[in-house]
Amino acid sequence: MATRTRRTERREEPLSRERIVEAAIGLLDTAGERGLTFRALAEHLATGPGAIYWHVTGKEELLGAATEAVVGTMTAGTAGATPQEEIRTLALGVFDAIETHPWIGTQLARAPGKSPMLRVFEHLGRQVQALGVPHTAQFTAVSALLNYVLGVAGQNAANARAHQAHQPDTGRAEFLDTAATAWADLDPAEYAFTRGVADQLRDHDDREEFLAGIDLILTGITARYQ
Amino acid sequence: MATRTRRTERREEPLSRERIVEAAIGLLDTAGERGLTFRALAEHLATGPGAIYWHVTGKEELLGAATEAVVGTMTAGTAGATPQEEIRTLALGVFDAIETHPWIGTQLARAPGKSPMLRVFEHLGRQVQALGVPHTAQFTAVSALLNYVLGVAGQNAANARAHQAHQPDTGRAEFLDTAATAWADLDPAEYAFTRGVADQLRDHDDREEFLAGIDLILTGITARYQ
DNA sequence: ACCTGAACACCGTTCAAGT
DNA sequence: ACCTGAACACCGTTCAAGT
């Protein structure tokens, strides 16, 4: 009876690009990449699917905007750190963003020259420059770092997708355990090496492993170009 | 009038998993990832879409089988080469396979523990072992290499997708040139580094750049673990 | 200017019916 | 056993019609 103002408060909030992107991120986080649908999004925003198109040209742009919104909140600089530390922090930022929003892993790999990745490229580049890498090698060095990050990103996104689809109620440790057991059961002739490192898969830490890869590339960069 | 045998020869070739996968690869290569449709595939095989499901469980399996078929023809070993050379050859094999079949870039990133990638992992692993990397670091070293390869793979696939969609009739050199020009036009304050390496983007060689990244990681591995 | 929702042109997948 | 093709349950996107 007294709900008139209350209800309109919710209803009258006008549709905007910002609200749409926000709702899209929520849908992607909770329902996965397959869960983002113009119909589901419209229902979430209490409108019809056509309304969204007035604020956004299509699904591709919507995914791009969602990725930018997430990645944009991420490029903070730690003052007074070594270039190596800055690169580690930057890379970890991407890693963590993907952990909370696995779908940006797919999205980053999909938009090559587009802005979210270009920003990461720029920041990595400045640190590589600070490392003293000669100009002619800077592009190569940054590309190596970025491609590695993107590879991990894509892998994590795929893992999240598979995890959500197949065993949504198991933890990461449990998942690694089953994978490691499967590796240990492989044909000894064809997969001798993989069998041998199955134990390392079982008790590894994703973040640490990711950072170890970054360090490996950094070592290569400094050994070669410094 | 004398075409009876001729015609039947074509028509009677029975549907098989092999023929379906082959047709799917053809469709993916010529029409891109979006071009692979059960209806298009059925038309290509002169049958109905339902027939395909008798030989293949669904689209995911079909894409997986197509990827395996392409990657499977690729793991040749060069006898009497150093581990470094073997790794380079192996990585270049993946790179070249992606260049002729860009869609496997997406596909490799999508199937983490699945067989095509596991084979590459195994072969890389053997060479890393031959390099003398201690057991506890082998998983990390191979992961770094593989993630880098997958990052480039995804990037190349995305580029091919964008290229086919936007400027299908321009060459790679032309594409790099426009990209480099766009970089050189970026805001000097926000993108100082990227602007500075625009020239390196313009006249770089994809294969060489890819190998330079591999070498950087190899340098890191040997510097740290040998 | 902005929203609505039916309609269009597609998908992947299923399934009764055929051979 | 294997194939056919209509039908189902979805998509993204458009567009006349409303406010």
pLDDT per residue as tens, chain B (226 positions): 333 333 333 445 789 999 999 999 999 999 999 999 999 999 999 999 999 999 999 999 999 999 999 988 776 666 778 999 999 999 999 999 999 999 999 998 877 667 788 999 999 999 999 999 999 999 999 999 999 999 999 998 888 888 777 777 788 888 889 899 999 999 999 999 999 999 999 989 999 999 999 999 999 999 999 8
Distance in Å, alpha carbon of A73 to nearest chain B alpha carbon: 16
B157-177 exposure pattern, b = at least 16 Cβ within 10 A, e = fewer: bbbbbbbeeeeeeeeeeebbe
Pick from A121, A136, A139 the residue to mutate for testing the B interface (most B CBs within 10 Å): A139
The average pLDDT across A24-34 equals: 95
Question: Is B112's CB less than 7 Å from nucleic acid strand D?
Answer: no
CA A51 to C1' D19 (Å) is: 14
What is the distance between the alpha carbons of residues B55 and A23, in angstroms, rounded to a whole number? 40
Which residues does A93 contact at the CB level (< 8 Å), separation at least 6?
Answer: A74, A75, A76
Which nucleotide comes closest to B60 if you measure CA to C1'?
Answer: C12
pLDDT at A7 over 70: no
Burial class (CB in 10 A: 0-12, 13-18, 19+), A50: exposed
Which residues does B85 contact at the CB level (< 8 Å), separation at least 6?
Answer: B78
Two tokens, residue B128: 């890393």
pLDDT at A167 over 70: yes
Which nucleotide comes closest to A49 if you measure CA to C1'?
Answer: C5
Q: What is the pLDDT of residue B80?
A: 79
Q: What is the DSSP string of A14-61?
A: ---HHHHHHHHHHHHHHH-GGG--HHHHHHHTTS-HHHHHHH-S-HHH
Which nucleotide comes closest to B56 if you measure CA to C1'?
Answer: C13
B220 at the A interface (CB within 8 A)?
Answer: yes
Question: Is B122's CB less than 7 Å from nucleic acid strand C?
Answer: no
Pick from A142, A150, A202, A209 the residue to mutate for testing the B interface (most B CBs within 10 Å): A150
User: In Å, what is the CA distance from A182 to each residue of A118, A185, A197, A199, B113?
Assistant: 39, 5, 12, 11, 10
User: In chain B, which residues have their Cβ closer than 8 Å to the Cβ of A213?
Assistant: 140, 143-144, 147
Task: Assess contact for B55 and B16: CB atoms under 8 A.
Answer: yes
Which residues does B174 contact at the CB level (< 8 Å), separation at least 6?
Answer: B167
Question: Is B192's CB less than 7 Å from nucleic acid strand D?
Answer: no
Which is nearest to B33 in space by CA: B121, B114, B98? B98
Q: What is the pLDDT of residue B165?
A: 74
Q: What is the pLDDT of residue B15?
A: 94
Question: Is A54's CB less than 7 Å from nucleic acid strand C?
Answer: yes
Which residues does A54 contact at the CB level (< 8 Å), separation at least 6?
Answer: A15
B77 at the A interface (CB within 8 A)?
Answer: no
Q: What is the pLDDT of residue B112?
A: 67
Pick from A86, A216, A219, A221 the residue to mutate for testing the B interface (most B CBs within 10 Å): A216
Which is nearest to B63 in space by CA: B96, B85, B43, B34? B34
Domains belonging to chain B, first-starting first, are: 2-56 (1.10.10.60), 77-225 (1.10.357.10)
A38-50 per-position pLDDT tens digit:
999 999 999 999 9
Where on the phi/psi map is residue A46: left (φ > 0), alpha (ψ -120 to 50), or beta? left
The average pLDDT across A103-114 equals: 83
Structure-token match 């669904």, residue found = B58
- What's the pLDDT band for A13 if we cut at 50, 70, 90? confident
Instruction: Return the nearest residue to C5, CA–C1'.
Output: A48
Task: Assess contact for A175 and A163: CB atoms under 8 A.
Answer: yes
A52-61 per-position pLDDT tens digit:
999 999 999 9
Quote the longest CA-to-CA distance of chain B: 76
Task: Please state at what angle helix A103-110 crosses helix A135-166, rounded to 10 degrees.
Answer: 140
Share of chain A above pLDDT 70, in %: 92
